[in-house]
């Protein structure tokens, strides 16, 4: 808490705004976190770890990828 908010750069320890602790352990103003979500930013601005549980999002993306047919010219290709 003895550092600046990574979004607005206001000193957290002396701030009158509510502070949230992210899953990664970094701290941020609650309002700054809400603004990040409004701009579809779900990663910690300091370490890039997810700020919330993204497992449902990854499941949806995996299903969409699996349901997308591979173009015929790439059908038999393999990539390591």
Do 1 and 22 touch, CB atoms closer than 8 A?
A: no
Range list of β-strands (E), the chain: 19-21, 27-29
Q: State residue 48 phi and psi, 5-degree precision.
A: 70, 10
At CA 50, angle to CA 49 and CA 51, rounded to 5? 115
pLDDT at 24 over 80: yes
**pLDDT value of position 56:** 93
In this prediction, residue 1 has a pLDDT band, given cuts at 50, 70 and 90, of: low
**pLDDT value of position 12:** 75
CATH number among 3.30.40.10, 3.30.70.890, 3.40.1440.10, 3.50.50.60, domain 1-69? 3.30.40.10
List the structure tokens of 72: 């015929």
Q: Name the pTM for this structure.
A: 0.65
Could you report the per-residue pLDDT of 33-76, keeping only the tens digit for each? 999 999 999 999 999 999 988 999 999 999 999 999 888 888 88
């Amino acid at each position: 808490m003895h550092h600046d908010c990574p979004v607005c750069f206001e000193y957290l320890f002396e701030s009158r705004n509510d502070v949230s602790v992210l899953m990664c352990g970094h701290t941020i103003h609650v309002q700054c976190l809400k603004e990040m979500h409004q701009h579809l930013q779900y990663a910690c601005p300091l370490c890039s770890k997810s700020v919330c549980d993204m497992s449902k999002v990854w499941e949806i993306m995996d299903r969409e990828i699996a349901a997308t047919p591979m173009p015929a010219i790439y059908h038999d290709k393999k990539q390591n």
